[in-house]
Chains A and B, each alone.
Chain A
Amino acid sequence: MSSPFHSMIFWSRRNLFATAKDVALTVMLVLLSIWAAYHFIHWAVLVARWDVVSDSLRVFLVGTLPPTEFWRAWIALLFVALIVGSMSGLGFAFRPRQMALTILFLAGLTFPIVGNNIPVLAAVCSMTVSFVASWFLVSRLALSIRHVGCFVTGSLALIFMILAPAGMDRWGGLLLSLVFTLVSSFFIIIFGVLLAFGRRSNNWALRLPCIMYIESMRSLPLILIVYWIWIAGPLFFPTWNVAAVTRGIAGFVVYFSAVAAESVRGGLQGLPKGQQEAARSLGLGEFDINYQILLPQALRASVPALMGNILDVFNFVPVVFVVGLADFLRTGEMVLASPRYGDRTYEVYVFMLVIYFAIGSVLTFVARGLEHHLSKGSRRLSELH
């Protein structure tokens, strides 16, 4: 008598209806959820006018990028799909059935918005194919983080090179948010690691500046740093016309490198002292001790914190409105500013919420995969027992 139905009843009796207090709580919460869900669905289906989303999709996705340059955005998104796919492949085995279900679910969400726009459908399909293919290849060939790291680096450079000729100040919408996050995260992790090791150096001439830098950045507001770098750029390089995006990314890198450095330091401090002693006793030099022994283990330990930092980067991108850029959230305000859609505040912000949540979830998922991949050595112990 252990059918799923029976075990479900058993579970809910033990966990939801064990005492009178439990029953009261359960009933209250269920009623509350039904009430909230009813109102939301009622609004979403009958009241809300979603045409604002499908009509303004271009603005949301790419901002004011001219239609003749859309192909650049699609190629960039293709590479984003490849990056996400290959990083997922590092940590998770490829499971065709789960993958098919996920794609069906996403297709159900996408079709109502995209409609029968053939070029867009083709682009979305090719993105899906490259995402699935990269996941499949990385997990089947058991590629290591080094291969994927090289691939991601190359892809980021390509994305930048493809998008740059369109005019960097015309990037906008979700495209801007994504590229901004990916490019700044790349530098943030590199500089964060360097700063964390610099902070632990035995050489005070290296250690002191690192400590001062990290502590002063952490005590300043992000928005001030972004704004300051934006106005300071032309001050120091008057002849060099740096795009606002680049200056915005620089501001984020300057601030978040210090934050990431603290995450990496957390990982380094958690390492047993014996690791360094064992490496020393073998005669390894300082570089090998740091690069071969301490860094891989520290990164493994700090992946959750670092991924939190990257999520922060993504969620703080709206700050770039101070330097005149129109990121995803800003395009929502732009759409609402037009008289035609002035009364669609709820529709637009629900759409924003869903997209932010979806992307945040994908980032979290990739982070779990990375953790999984990096915990190789210690994980197999539990498989053994």
Chain B
Amino acid sequence: MTNASNSIVEMVNLNKYFGTQLVLSDINLTVIRGEVLVVIGGSGSGKSTLIRCINGLESHEGGTLIVDGYTMPCRTLPTAAGSKDLLRIRKRVGMVFQQFNLFPHKTVRDNLTLAPVRVHNRSPADAAEAAEKLLSRVGLEAHASKFPAQLSGGQQQRVAIARALAMEPDLMLFDEPTSALDPEMVSEVLDVMRELAADGMTMIIVTHEMGFAREVAGRIAYLDKGRFLEIGTPTELFDSPNNDRTKTFLSRILKH
């Protein structure tokens, strides 16, 4: 298995178009196991698209993308991997969405157990037990029998994190996990993510929470118009950005 390799995501000259518009251009990126990478950038810079490529919610048009040892299917190179490989990658890559996307017709517990039972063929009892543990890890053990609509935004997002963790992923993708939350609920979600990072989970996070990024990130990447303008440690990026546009962006976002 290629699992022995130290990198979990490898992008080489990745290109992605929406129609004729280039949204990601010549992206080169390697993410190491256990690393926390934060992607920042203005709206429309392609950061969501970038992480959606990693679990195949979007497909790319050029370049190579290797996730957890599997080459992701590419539109111009359809033979690279079939839909079976896509499923195999999705089993190992968890994703947390801005809008939570919990299944509203299922209880919190069923949200957590559905995929382990159906995809990993775990017994319902096993999965329920694991769900219980995960819920207490995110501080929601009392809410297992509730429906998502009965929870606050922050609680729903914590359930969504637990749901992704229930698949025991090697990599977690976060697509602006706190952007749809009321300000007072942001910290409860960030706390869960902090703990996750401390436990050594590999994470790629798109966020506007700069304080959190500085504290948790191993590296921060600044994406602008589909290109990486700068990648570096938080100190490098925040304290001495090389690029003028990074400077402008940071000054704008850190001002308030």
Contact = CB atoms under 8 A, between A and B. Distances in A.
Interface stretch (A129-137, A324-332, A376-384): A376-384
Contact of B150 (A283, A285, A288, A381): A381
Interface residues of B, number: 31
Interface string A265-304: 0000000101101111111110010001100110010000
Residues of A contacting B: mostly: helix
B55 interface: yes
B147 A377 contact: yes
Interface residues of A, number: 24
A352 to B, nearest CB: 40
B17 interface: no
A377 B104 contact: yes
B93 interface: yes
A292 B93 contact: no
B252 interface: no
A282 B115 contact: yes
Interface string B80-99: 00000001101101110101
Contact of A280 (B90, B106, B118, B148): B90
Contacts of B149: 377-378, 380-381, 384
B147 A283 contact: no
Contacts, number: 80
Contacts of B114: 282, 284, 288, 292
Interface centre among A278, A283, A300 (most CB of B within 10 A): A283
Contacts of A380: 146-147, 149-150
Residue in A277, A297, A377 whose Cβ sees the most chain B Cβ within 10 Å = A377
Contact of B97 (A277, A285, A381): A277
Which of A278, A377, A378 has most chain B Cβ within 10 Å? A278
B105 A282 contact: no
Given A278-B97, A292-B118, A283 B167 contact: yes
B57 A282 contact: no
17 contacts: A274-B97, A277-B97, A278-B95, A278-B101, A279-B103, A283-B88, A284-B118, A285-B118, A288-B114, A292-B118, A297-B105, A376-B147, A377-B147, A377-B148, A377-B149, A378-B147, A381-B150
Interface of A: 272, 274-275, 277-285, 288, 292-293, 296-297, 300, 376-378, 380-381, 384
Closest 5 pairs (CB-CB, A-B): A278-B101, A381-B149, A274-B101, A283-B90, A282-B115
